[in-house]
Amino acid sequence: MWGIKLIGKKTEELIFKQLMRLANAIILFVIGLIVFTIMRKGLPALSWEIISQVPKGGYYFGGEGGVLNAIVGSIYLAFGATFLAFVISLPSALFINVHLQKHKKLQDIIRLFIDVMWGIPSVVYGAFAFGIMIYMGIRASLMAGIVTVAIFIMPIMIRGMDEVLKMVPKTLFESGLSLGSTKYELSYRIFFKQCIPGIATAILLSFGRAFGDVAAVLFTAGFTDNIPTSLTQPAATLPLAIFFQLSSPIPEVQNRAYAAAAILTFIILAISVFGRMALRKYKKNSIN
């Protein structure tokens, strides 16, 4: 390369190191700024009332109440969707890597297909699901929201798991089979165990997307001031609650939107931290 003649190896390394530092700094700065804004505007408006009550009449015009409906709705929806997506994603990702191990072309095609699905914006999933719901005469409900969000996060989850399963060493594959494992045993007793940390990351990542998404739930889960008591009832979600409150011209209501955003941030943070702590003990067993 021509760069090497102009500057020495040492300088080159130094420059790249500084560039990486800069990149990290920019990311941290942006995250910091967002969190700071949410906290600065949200924390003063945060109160026990917001967390513990559903909206009373006129809440969105500055009346009394809170966003408990949206908190509970979001938790139901995100857990439900993550669980549903997991039940389908794990076997899929294992299938791609264990059963289709021989068929490299097919693997590539499937991966491409899933990557394209990943690129489709959630509003398209929402609209698509909404179309089906109208056709079948289903009304907006927690269930419909869960299914839609599950479909929307599935590509993320499958490819996240796939990327770690891909890294399982070939010798482990061969050792597992040599012991007389069926492909099923190889999948769940060996590949799965080997990849628990990475699989957990894929799940947490998808959970974050499920929790924070607006567009997929807008038409499918609906919105309500009540806490849903069954899967067929509509459910409110935090991102939508934030959106509605931010759209209000009343400053007090806008600040409550930031409070709701702070709650959302805390919940995602808490789940990520607890999720990781709970899974830490599995990390030690992985072979590299």
Partner 1 sequence: MNQSKIEVKDLNLSIGNQHILKNINCKIPSRKITVILGSSGCGKSTLLKSMNRLTDLYPKVKISGDILLNNQGIFGKEVEVTDLRKKMGLMSQRPAPLPMSIFDNVAYGLRISGRKKKLQMKLRVEYYLKVVNLWDEVKDRLKAPASSLSIGQQQRLCLARGLAVDPELILADEPTSALDPLSSQVIEKKFMELKDSFTIVWVTHTLRQAKRMADHVIFMYLGEIIEQGPAEEFFNNPQHEITKNFLNGSFN
Report the interface residues with partner 1, using CB under 8 A: 101-104, 169, 171-182, 185, 189-190, 193-194, 284-288
Pair of tokens at residue 264: 């959302």
Q: Which is nearer to partner 1, 172 or 246 (CB)?
A: 172
Tell me the chain's radius of gyration from C-alpha atoms: 23
- Rounded CA-CA distance 133/112 in Å is 28
Q: Which is nearer to partner 1, 74 or 194 (CB)?
A: 194
Q: Which is nearer to partner 1, 139 or 283 (CB)?
A: 283
- Rounded CA-CA distance 172/288 in Å is 10
Q: Which is nearer to partner 1, 196 or 214 (CB)?
A: 196
CB of 129 to partner 1, least distance (A): 38
Q: Which is nearer to partner 1, 92 or 175 (CB)?
A: 175
User: 127 with 219: CB under 8 angstroms?
Assistant: yes
User: 57 with 123: CB under 8 angstroms?
Assistant: no
User: 208 with 74: CB under 8 angstroms?
Assistant: no
- Rounded CA-CA distance 141/150 in Å is 14
CB of 141 to partner 1, least distance (A): 41
CB of 34 to partner 1, least distance (A): 37
User: 161 with 82: CB under 8 angstroms?
Assistant: no
CB of 282 to partner 1, least distance (A): 9
CB of 169 to partner 1, least distance (A): 7
CB of 58 to partner 1, least distance (A): 57
Q: Which is nearer to partner 1, 185 or 225 (CB)?
A: 185
Using the structure block, give the residue that is written with the tokens 């559903």. Answer: 54
Which residues are within 8 A (CB) of 92 and not within 5 positions of it... i.e. 6 or more apart? Answer: 158
Which residues are within 8 A (CB) of 31 and not within 5 positions of it... i.e. 6 or more apart? Answer: none
Q: 205: closest CA among 141, 120, 108, 118?
A: 118
